[in-house]
Amino acid sequence: MFKVLLMIALFFMSISLVISFMRTVKGPTMPDRIVALDAIGITLIGVIGILMILQETIAYAEVILVIGILAFIGTIALSKFIERGDIFDRD
């Protein structure tokens, strides 16, 4: 029963990934896409968490943390790029 629930949760999360992806492609503006990418990252964290429960392992705990950091860094980098056209400042 519990496994079925997890499966259902995974199913809906996949649908949410699809929807976020559609927003990434459609836009219409660049911030829309960046936010969608961020949302994909966070959804992935959820998916991986459920997969950990399903596979009865804690091997992916680091992955979850890394995705958390990377989604943040990626969003910052993209935002900075569309804000200034550059990622690293030069003095």
Scored b (16 or more CB within 10 A) or e, 47-58 reads bebeebeeeeee
Q: Which of 1, 83, 88, 91 binds another protein (CB under 8 A)?
A: 88
- Looking at the Cβ atoms of 1 and 18, the one nearer to another protein is 18
CA 7 – CA 12 distance, rounded (Å): 9
CA 77 – CA 5 distance, rounded (Å): 37
Judged by the rule CB under 8 A, the positions of this chain that interact with another protein are 7, 10-11, 13-15, 17-18, 21, 24-25, 27, 30, 33-34, 37, 40-41, 44, 47-48, 51, 55, 57, 59-60, 62-63, 66-67, 70, 73-74, 77-78, 81-82, 85-88
